[in-house]
Amino acid sequence: MNFQQVFGTEPEVEASAPGRVNLLGEHTDYNDGFVLPTAIPQKTTVQLGFSKDEQHHFYSAELDEKVDVLESTHTPSSFASYVFGCIRLLEQEGNTIPPVNVYVTSSVPIGSGLSSSAALEVATLRGLRSLLSLTLDDVQIAQLAQQAEIHYAGVQCGIMDQMASSLADTDSMLFLDTRTLERQVLPFPKGAEVVVIDSGVPRTLAASGYNQRRADCEEAARLLGVKALRDITEPQAVESLPEPLRRRALHVVTEDNRVLEAIQGVSPERFGELMNASHASLRDAYEVSVPALDTLVRMLQETRGVFGARLTGAGFGGACVALVEVGKAEAIAQNVLQRYNGSGYTGRILVQ
């Protein structure tokens, strides 16, 4: 069904936003640290028009689900909570939002750690900006989208995903200082490109495990007497912390340092080593990997033409990212996937 078939009118505006894959800088954004994502080709598109009645009407083509929302009702669930969250936040900022029809379609895989929710939030806000001629820049859109995620989806996330969806493109890396929001658009390491493979393991524990890691980091920063772990630059400085806070903080401090090295224009070989070290740290110190991700990452790392590989996103399941020699992405992805699925998993190639 298209917009016309669902709502009986033509849409007034259309807007899109991509998913993202993070190359380095995992679990650093809520520590005021550094991240290095890029956009992926898959995106979410929304079409919007004015509703003919008092209600908002949202439709997801992928879920074939229609949700009607009266302004006064409780927050809806599923995809509609993100759309409604964006509307609510714009209202809280003093904007008047009339009842709207929103048609959502998306090619961003859900549950793989590629920010399908950020893509939906950013696309929705872009659509509302254009429908209602709102004065909002791309950073403000990312900030509102992050608030929608925190307040309407219940994940105490940082700002990486929404900034990446709002500002990154597929041809470069977006270096972001999540404290100041200063950023640089950087080329990929010379002669390298990105492969993303989903492990096939859903991110079941992600929300609770994520919020727990965040609380651990805040406690570690408090004990060290700093505003956030970003303020620690020497790994030795965390040695006095009790476990597991020492391990958590060690990951964050070393991960920030890896990002800061990676943006100095290092060779693809060095960039790959930094990715491998990031995975080891996420597995052993931050403890957000699972056996399937470790298996997939190891298979990627052992394959010729792969500079480095790691889990990407929050962890607990989802996807792995690899940096590979230009021109070899497809062959490498097929080869690794065949071996990985041969050991009983149901992985799939997402970007090659």
Minimum separation from the CB atom of position 296 to ligand GLA (A): 18
Report the distance separating Cα 2 and Cα 345, nearest Å: 35
Among the listed residues 192, 184, 197, the one whose alpha carbon sits nearest the alpha carbon of residue 109: 197
Place of tokens 């996330």: 157
Report the distance separating Cα 277 and Cα 254, nearest Å: 9
Binds ligand GLA by CB under 6 A, chosen from 104, 142, 157, 167: 157
Q: Which CB, 61 or 155, lies closer to ligand GLA?
A: 155
Considering the rule CB under 6 A, would residue 262 count as an interface residue with ligand GLA?
Answer: no
The pair of structure tokens assigned to 100 is 């709207």
Residues 309-338 that bind ligand GLA (CB under 6 A): 313-314
Binds ligand GLA by CB under 6 A, chosen from 23, 87, 132, 160: 160
Minimum separation from the CB atom of position 313 to ligand GLA (A): 5
Binds ligand GLA by CB under 6 A, chosen from 3, 7, 30, 79: 30
Minimum separation from the CB atom of position 29 to ligand GLA (A): 5
| Cβ-Cβ contacts under 8 Å for 187 (sequence gap 6 or more) | 172, 173
Binds ligand GLA by CB under 6 A, chosen from 3, 19, 29, 306: 29
Q: Which amino acid is at 142?
A: A
Residues 8-27 that bind ligand GLA (CB under 6 A): 26-27
Q: Which amino acid is at 137?
A: D
CA distances from 288 to 123, 158, 249, 274 (A): 29, 16, 14, 18
Considering the rule CB under 6 A, would residue 161 count as an interface residue with ligand GLA?
Answer: yes
Report the distance separating Cα 115 and Cα 161, nearest Å: 6
Active site residue 161: yes
Considering the rule CB under 6 A, would residue 121 count as an interface residue with ligand GLA?
Answer: no
Q: Which residues bind ligand GLA (CB under 6 A)?
A: 26-27, 29-30, 157-158, 160-161, 313-314
Q: Which residues are marked as active site? A: 161
